[in-house]
A and B are shown apart, each in its own frame.
Chain A
């Protein structure tokens, strides 16, 4: 027999009461963990995006907002593929690595997956109009550097926007996560909306949304989604100096029905969203602290009242004020620990499930946050328990023991 055993017996005596009082704190912690997880991975994705992005200019259909960047190539709005030709023939300087895209959702091995259509480099080279446009696939070395110096370029760096040289029309490339999930390797066949494709390759891990996608030939996606000659985004590399020299303005004038944005704008829009989420989660945090704390305090008040006779008995049997305090604080501690653990689990599951849906971001569990969840929950429970526990020590056994 020890105090912990007695407290556990008491807590499990009324399971329903325990569950309902835990619910508030579990949900509170869950919401905080979920929001924090999604924000965290969203920020990380932006960082990766900025790192990995060869393209720093994005051309979108007019109606698509910058905020929709992650879903930009998933919207129904499209623009004609001829925009690519327009840009190339415009004589605008500083245009590089142009990549038109069209995305759709399709059933891949029976599961809804995003399929993005791209044009392999070979075809660009094959098209005379693009050939004459010059070295569109060469990353201009030292583009931003002052004349006379050359910026170092790591030849091993994996640039996810490195143009794909060859992609036959019956071939697909798989994002790394997706390939792992499907258990598919190069050379295998894959059914996309009932059509059979050959897996031409698995892309290296990029840490971005691309990891979960299928890449197919643009023409194929246009045909399968019944949108021939349409695209929903052009990513391109604008050379830094040219961007500052009104490349964007030039593009805008050339393509009045499209929206030309720099990646800086995109990222800052996403950061605005993230900041909003962060402020949101701060507001949530405060509300949840209040609600969760009130729920625990309420449970503790009720518990102290309900157990006032047992308190009297313990005192009559020789318990001091310290022991009474310890018993009720232990109770609060157990509530806090259990609430923290289950809140963390629920929040993590929520984030993993909702992350890709709400923010288009893959979220993986952050085990280290379990500690913060438990600390937060325990701290909350103990603070909420202070007044009820004080009240318990103030109970007069000569009164509570006389009650029938």
Chain B
């Protein structure tokens, strides 16, 4: 279970201080599928980075299964990112000089797991996203949809229990968007917790629950955090 308590993140820009997050609190249950919307600059990405252990909050806590992740040692925090968190980005952030399978194998290398079997594992993951014919292509030799799938395979390499996706469909056409959303739904059914940030109200209906940010604050939290189709409908109509 993830619990966020009064999270604040301030950036000093010149003499001014910008509060990207301003006292955000909510809970996400294990296996839940949460979508986050909000206007540009409302703090969505900052929230995701802070949740994933990439950006220290100015105040407040991020609790994973009762542990304040930012009170761990740096190596333990890195370990947490490897084992628990899987990021998905709008820009994919593939490593340009590595091939598809090497990109997918990166987390394995960092994890130190599956030594000597990296390629086999990577090939298996790429097969899952239907890319087994593009193993040795560099990102620049892949289409946008293929790049997104490589990025997804990489996210899954360490079998994270929580997937944090920041506008993953932002660069995709409607058909690719549908593919990605169906993959995320599959992963959610396998028990992974998913937090998806999006601009699109339509995409926002993909989850069990939806929150909206404005100026670093939560605007509305429809539903109480339990999963039901009724809530989904409710979010859609709001």
Residues of chain A at the chain B interface (Cβ within 8 Å):
1-3, 6, 9-10, 13, 309-310, 312-321, 323, 396-398, 401-402, 404
A-B contact pairs, 9 of them (CB 8 A): A6-B95, A6-B106, A310-B95, A313-B106, A315-B81, A318-B107, A397-B49, A398-B46, A402-B45
Contact B110 A396 (CB under 8 A): no
- Chain A residue nearest to B108 (CB atoms) is A1
C-alpha gap A319/B118 in the complex (Å): 17
Count B-side interface residues using an 8 Å CB cutoff. 35
Residues of chain B at the chain A interface (Cβ within 8 Å):
45-46, 49-50, 52, 54-55, 74-75, 78-79, 81-83, 85, 87, 89, 91, 93, 95-98, 102, 105-111, 118-119, 154, 158
- Chain A residue nearest to B104 (CB atoms) is A1
Instruction: Known A9-B98, A318-B158, A320-B74; judge A398-B55 contact (CB<8 A).
Output: yes
- Chain A residue nearest to B151 (CB atoms) is A313
Interface of A (DSSP majority class):
helix
How many residue pairs bridge A and B at CB < 8 Å?
77
C-alpha gap A312/B107 in the complex (Å): 13
C-alpha gap A32/B91 in the complex (Å): 48
What 3 pairs between A and B have smallest CB-CB spacing? A318-B82, A398-B55, A398-B49
Contact B54 A313 (CB under 8 A): no
Contact A317 B106 (CB under 8 A): yes
- Chain A residue nearest to B107 (CB atoms) is A317
C-alpha gap A364/B25 in the complex (Å): 75
C-alpha gap A72/B137 in the complex (Å): 67
- The interface residues of chain B lying within 8 Å CB-to-CB of A314 are 106, 110
- Chain B residue nearest to A5 (CB atoms) is B102
C-alpha gap A404/B91 in the complex (Å): 7
Determine which of A6, A319, A401 lies in contact with B89 in the assembled complex, contact meaning CB atoms within 8 Å: A401
Contact A318 B74 (CB under 8 A): no
Determine which of B45, B49, B78, B105 lies in contact with A318 in the assembled complex, contact meaning CB atoms within 8 Å: B78
Instruction: Known A1-B106, A314-B110, A398-B46; judge A13-B97 contact (CB<8 A).
Output: yes
- Chain A residue nearest to B98 (CB atoms) is A9
Closest approach, in angstroms, between the C-beta of A303 and any C-beta of chain B?
A: 12
Instruction: Known A315-B54, A398-B54; judge A2-B109 contact (CB<8 A).
Output: yes
